[in-house]
């Protein structure tokens, strides 16, 4: 694994060195002796720009090293050359890192780019739309926020904590719209996720105090 990560990290340099070596051998001994080095050079350079080094980011994210992950992302100088699904993941990661820095404008821009490209996994699409919906709600754009959160629920959200957050947000939206039956239904779905995050659990307790008194 370490050797493979080393290869990914220095794939472009390996490709360029192989190309130089191939050119030298081509001039001194002919094309066929240089063919293998030409092939290595083409494969290394092509995959560097077409697939990129996103595999390296996983290790940083698992360690919670967002600065290290951001350095890898910033090292991708030509994201438009990335294979479309890889480019979508690239923008999702850029958006997530922007969220950790509370740069919500940048996060929204990157996540919308990711959605426009189409995410390779439905669950990732749901998580992306949920974050965009939450950001829209923070900006006071209730209509767009509700639309995005509904879309996130339809697409599927990968974990129970995020699902509970989505249902609770929909519950609050329905309460504001005085659609109490729908609010109760979303509240039940939120509780059914059995969240354990303190913030979500506290929110459920707060809503539970008065939701039973609502008509519908």
Contact 66, 102 (CB under 8 A): no
* Alpha helices by DSSP H, the chain: 2-9, 11-29, 31-50, 55-62, 66-74, 84-100, 104-117, 122-138, 142-155, 160-176, 180-192, 198-211
* Residue extents of the structural domains in the chain: 1-50, 168-216
Residue numbers in the chain where pLDDT is lower than 70: 1, 120-123, 216
Among 215, 127, 140, 213, smallest CA distance to 173 is for: 140
**What are 77's two structure tokens?**
């100088």
Looking at residue 211, its pLDDT comes to 86
3-state secondary structure (DSSP) of residue 80: helix
Q: Residue 76 and residue 73: Cα distance in Å, rounded?
A: 6
Looking at residue 191, its pLDDT comes to 94
Q: Residue 69 and residue 90: Cα distance in Å, rounded?
A: 11
Looking at residue 1, its pLDDT comes to 67
- DSSP letter (8 states) at residue 81: G
Looking at residue 118, its pLDDT comes to 85
Q: How many Cα atoms are found within 13 Å in the side-chain-facing hemisphere of 52?
A: 22
Q: Residue 29 and residue 36: Cα distance in Å, rounded?
A: 13
Among 145, 203, 202, 205, smallest CA distance to 174 is for: 145
For the stretch 6-64, pLDDT in tens is: 899 999 999 999 999 999 999 999 999 999 999 999 999 999 999 999 889 888 887 88
Contact 168, 190 (CB under 8 A): yes
Looking at residue 4, its pLDDT comes to 86
């Amino acid at each position: 694994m370490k050797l493979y990560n080393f290869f990914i990290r220095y794939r472009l340099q390996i490709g360029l060195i192989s190309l130089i070596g191939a050119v030298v051998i081509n001039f001194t001994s002919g094309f066929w002796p240089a063919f293998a080095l030409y092939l290595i050079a083409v494969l290394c350079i092509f995959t560097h720009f077409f697939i990129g080094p996103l595999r390296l980011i996983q290790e940083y994210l698992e360690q919670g090293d967002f600065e290290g992950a951001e350095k890898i992302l910033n090292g991708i100088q030509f994201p438009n050359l990335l294979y479309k699904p890889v480019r979508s993941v690239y923008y999702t990661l850029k958006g997530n890192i922007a969220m950790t820095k509370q740069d919500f404008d940048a996060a929204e821009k990157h996540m919308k780019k990711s959605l426009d490209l189409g995410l390779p996994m439905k669950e990732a699409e749901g998580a992306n739309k949920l974050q965009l919906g939450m950001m829209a709600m923070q900006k006071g754009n209730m209509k767009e926020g509700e639309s995005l959160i509904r879309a996130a629920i339809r697409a599927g959200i990968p974990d129970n904590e995020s699902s509970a957050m989505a249902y609770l947000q929909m519950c609050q939206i329905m309460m504001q719209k005085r659609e109490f039956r729908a609010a109760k239904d979303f509240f039940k779905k939120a509780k059914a996720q059995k969240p354990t995050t303190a913030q979500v659990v506290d929110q459920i307790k707060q809503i539970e105090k008065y939701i039973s008194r609502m008509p519908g």
